[in-house]
Amino acid sequence: MAGYLVGGRLVAGGGIGAGDITVRAVPASSGSFELPLNNDGSLDIDLNLPMVDPVTKTRVDLPNLLVPGRDWLAWVERTTPGNRDGDVIVEAGPIWGDPFTFPKSDRIVANGLLSYFDHRVILPVLAAGQLPRDVTSRWSGLSLRTIMKRIVQQAIAHAGAGLPIDFEPDFLGDHEREYPGADLKFVAEALRELSQVEGGPEFALRPKFRDDRRGIRWELLTGAPELTQAGDDHYWDVSVPDAHARVVSLDRDGSQLTSRDFEVGATFRNMIQDSSAESDATAFAAGNCTLDKQDRSWAAHGVQSINLYSPSSTDSYVSIGGDVGSVRLGMESGKTYVFSATGNVKETLSGGVVSHAPRERALVVHYRTGATAPWTIVTSPQVPNVVGSALRVAVTFTLPDNTSDAFIRAYHGRTGGQIRWDAFSLTEGSEVVPYSPDQVRIEAVAERDELTEAGFPLLESVTSRSSVVQSSTLQAYANEEVVRGSAHVETITLIARRDKVPRLGTYWPGDYATINVGENPRLPKGRNRVRIVGIQFDKTGSVTIECAPERVVSGYPVPSTKRTWLRDQLRHLARSVSESTRGK
């Protein structure tokens, strides 16, 4: 048994439905196909033109029926002899090229559906006049697998993007993700990155026939964190004579070992000039109090701070970068910001208290959406009213659309006492970042000692992820890198006949299998449980299956006391072997 090729339309148009089959038998002379884990597969076929319909004996204008960028190509495997109802679509996705060599040699190159999302950015449907910088895609209170779902659902909600994709139900969680439109992040990149974080879900866009078998659909499948499989492990016995499978190689790669990983994320710019008043304090103006802009009794940064004293009203404060009358400091409607500073009471505050008491000893944001609209007031936690008890506080806020006024203040808020403020920061986004007078880059580090305890020298890795804006997300990447880097990347290559059980089309990347091996120098004799991480095959012939061991193989140089830990970790690590986005 082998299979056949079909083709059709990605989206509806011209009387053709999304996923409809338009070519039922593409007569390929040869072809090669690949299915990796957590990535898009590939289909590469050769054929001769012109194509002739086997029934009507008329020419078929294949180059205009299967057009790169518009149509899809699929490989269908026959799993049950004489019964097409058992045929399974192994891979399907957009055609991206059809190079032709005269006089008649044609080639069609396609990739799995994930490749389409390499051409789509994370944006909601834009209103008239909106630009990407005006919008942000945010999801919270969800599992990472459901955030994956939301990203894809949003992408196919655009006009001309109605791909036939089925989705799982929602899975709740405590995760959140924010994708500013200005970043123009590609959908596929985000999905791959979500699968790489600590505990991130595996995923697949798996094709299938429609119920009427006149078209195809895809399912977005996600794991928790591993993809699940139906039934028991697949089984190959390579220890017996005339076996229908054989192990041909074992590769152990140490190039990605690491005991300490450094991660570099997004850079945040402080929107307040001379934010510590060390040289130019013109951005700071007194409100109903006296300011000492060069108080040297204490400083959170540099050698001096701003002291608020002798208040003439309970509504006493220092304004930063301007006050009522405009949107200050370059802030923009629809965007999220964090305002932070360090406060320290110099003399216990006393006397009357400002109306809206949370403003006392706090950072305060005021904004409104018109000259007659009410003010919205957002406050940070309060600095302790205890002399010398310095505390850094922050307030996160989002300016609504059509904001007309927005400004920030640091409050005194009483009629007696003194309070010092220093190290002011205003940054775009929801991440509370360490203070910097100019700009600050979020960073993370993680370390494990399994390798060094086993006699390895210290090995380090550095990864830049400039689009990551949350410290917790960056730390999750670092944690994942040192877990992955604590074991060699080991792959077992198995070659199996496609027409013997288990047949091609019944196993997938992510599935578990058991390989029974005989005596050999590297693998333990007997049953070895492995995870399938890649499948390659041609139009005819055997199938090459790349597997990752579930457990440590012979010769792995980690003490036996760590074997249980490694077994559990390798279950988690196996899913990452074929990642093509490592280092992003």
| Residue 569 amino acid letter | Q
pLDDT score of 26: 84
Please, what sign has the CA dihedral across residues 64, 66, 69, 70?
A: positive
Residues 397-444: tens digit of each pLDDT: 999 999 999 999 999 999 999 999 999 999 998 889 999 999 999 999
Report the amino acid identity of residue 37: L
> What pLDDT score was predicted for residue 552?
37
Average pLDDT over residues 543-549: 91
- Take residue 141 and report the two structure tokens written for it: 């209170």
Model pLDDT, residue 550: 60
Architecture of domain 272-437: Sandwich (2.60)
Encode pLDDT of 444-461 as tens digits: 999 999 899 989 999 999
Six token digits for residue 207? 């094709």
Name which of 80-84, 111-115, 222-226, 249-253 the model is least confident about. Answer: 80-84
Residue 336 CA to residue 369 CA, distance in Å, equals 16
Q: What rounded mean pLDDT belongs to the chain?
A: 90
Give the pLDDT of residue 1. Answer: 57
SS (HEC) of 417-451: EEEEEEEEEEEECCCCCCCCCCEEEEEEEEECCHH
Cα(104)–Cα(299) distance, integer angstroms = 78
Report the pLDDT value the prediction gives residue 582, as an integer from 0 to 100: 31
| 504 against 85, higher pLDDT | 504
Q: Can you give the residue ranges of every domain in the chain?
A: 3-115, 118-222, 234-257+487-576, 260-268+442-484, 272-437
Q: Choose among 207, 237, 241, 235: nearest CA to 221.
A: 207
First-to-final CA distance of the chain? 41
Residues facing residue 400 across a β-bridge: none
Query: Cα–chain-centroid distance for residue 262?
Result: 18
List the one residue out of 579, 552, 547 whose CA is nearest residue 565: 552
Q: Name the CATH architecture for the domain at 118-222.
A: 3-Layer(bab) Sandwich (3.55)
CA-based Rg of the chain, rounded to a whole angstrom? 31
H-helix or E-strand containing 364?
strand 363-368
Q: Which two tokens stand for residue 59?
A: 């020419």
For 160-196, write each residue's pLDDT tens digit.
999 999 999 999 998 888 898 989 999 999 999 999 8
CA atoms within 13 A on the CB side of 270: 20
Is the pTM above the cut of 0.75? no
